[in-house]
Amino acid sequence: MSLQGIVCIPGSCGELVQGTSSGINFHVTCPVNWYSKVTVTVVPSLKKIFFPKTRIKTAWAVRKMLNYFGYPDFGAIIEIASSLPLSKGMASSTGDIAAACYAVAAALKIRLDPEIVAETALSIEPSDGTFYPGIWSFDHVKGLISEKIGESFSLGILALDFGGIVDTLEFNRSPGLFFYNQINEPKTKKALELVKLGFSRKDPFLIGKGATISALANQIINPKPRLGELVEFVTSLGAYGINVAHSGTVAGVLLPPGQERNKCLISKIREKFPEIKNYYPLLFTKGGPRFLGKIKKRGEASCKNISMGEILVQLQQNMG
C-alpha cells in the first residue's frame, strides 16, 4: 500500500523588501509563476527515504513531517520537477522543502498549517515565505515574524541574473550582516510602509517605490552591478521600480503585465547592461501550495490549471 501527494510551491524573484525591524529579520515575499513540483509517495513498509542525490534537505523535510504526524517508521519516495536556478535568491530550496512538507500531508490526507511548514523549513535552513498563501512579511531566519501583507495582483517581473551564486547559510552567517541591517532600518521601515500601502491600494507604483528603496539600501550588503543606473534606465522605460534578491544574484524589473516579454524592452536592457548573464520573464503570483492530483482538502489552493510549461519554465539565456 502507498499514498501519494503532489504539490507545487512558487519560486520567487528575490524579495520586495528585506532587512530587520528592531533587530528582527524579515522579508516581504515576491512569489512568481515558476514552480517547484514535488511528488512524495509514502510507503509504510519501506522505512527509508529515497530521494534525488542533490536534494538531501528535501529528504530531511519529509522525514521530519513523517515524524511529526506520528509515522517515524514509514518510508517515502521523493520526485522533484523544478528548473528554478540554485543559489540565485529564487527560493529553489524553499520550494522543494515546502512542497515536500505539503505533499506528505496530502498523501496522508491531513490539512497542514503553514506555520508547521515554516517551523520545519527553518529547522533546516533560512527560508523564503512563499509557502504562505498570499503575500507575507516573514522572518526567514527564526520565524519570529509572520504577517500577511495582502493578495497578489497582475504584475510582470523581468528577472535579471548578474551571474555567480550566493550560499544562503553562509550569507546569513556574515559577521557584518546585523550591523548593516541596523544601519538600513530607517530605509527598510520606509520601504515596508510604502509596500504595505501599495498592496492596500493595489498601487504598483507604491510597491515599486518601496521595493526600489530596499534594493538600493541592500547595496552595502550584497551589491548588484550598476543597480542605480539600472533603476534610472528601466523607470525611464515605464517600469514601476526594481526589487532584488537581497541574498542572491537576481534583480527584478517590476512592469505592467505583458511587458516582461517585450522584446524591444529586453533588448534595450541587455544592450545597456551587458553584465547581465540571464533573464527570466515572470509574473507575480500568490504564495502558498497548489495541489495536484485528487488528494486535497476543501478550501485549499489547487493548481489543476497550471501547465507543465509554467512548472518547468525554460531558462532564457542571454546569448543567441
**Tell me: the pLDDT tens digits for 39-86?**
999 999 999 999 999 999 999 999 999 999 999 999 999 999 999 999
All domains of the chain, ordered by start, with CATH?
3-317 (3.30.230.120)
| Inter-CA distances, 197 with 22, 69, 71, 192, 288, Å | 20, 39, 45, 8, 22
Pairing of strands 49-50, 75-81: parallel
**Are the CB atoms for 257 and 297 separated by under 8 Å?**
no
Give the pLDDT confidence score for residue 216 in this predicted structure: 98
CA distance 247 to 99: 22
Give the pLDDT confidence score for residue 169 in this predicted structure: 83
**Are the CB atoms for 310 and 34 separated by under 8 Å?**
yes
Query: Residue 294, class by beta-carbon neighbours within 10 Å (0-12 exposed, 13-18 middle, 19+ buried)?
Result: exposed
**Tell me: the pLDDT tens digits for 31-48?**
999 999 999 999 999 999
Tell me the average confidence (pLDDT) per consecutive run of 10 residues in the chain, 320 residues long.
90 98 97 98 95 95 98 97 95 98 97 98 97 98 97 97 91 91 98 98 98 98 97 98 97 98 98 97 98 53 40 31
**Are the CB atoms for 105 and 82 separated by under 8 Å?**
no
Q: Report pTM.
A: 0.91
Helix (H, G, I), strand (E, B) or coil at 150: strand
**Are the CB atoms for 171 and 164 separated by under 8 Å?**
no
**Tell me: the pLDDT tens digits for 272-288?**
999 999 999 999 999 99
Give the pLDDT confidence score for residue 319 in this predicted structure: 28
End-to-end CA distance of the chain: 50
Helix (H, G, I), strand (E, B) or coil at 38: strand
Helix (H) or strand (E) holding 20, with range, is strand 3-21
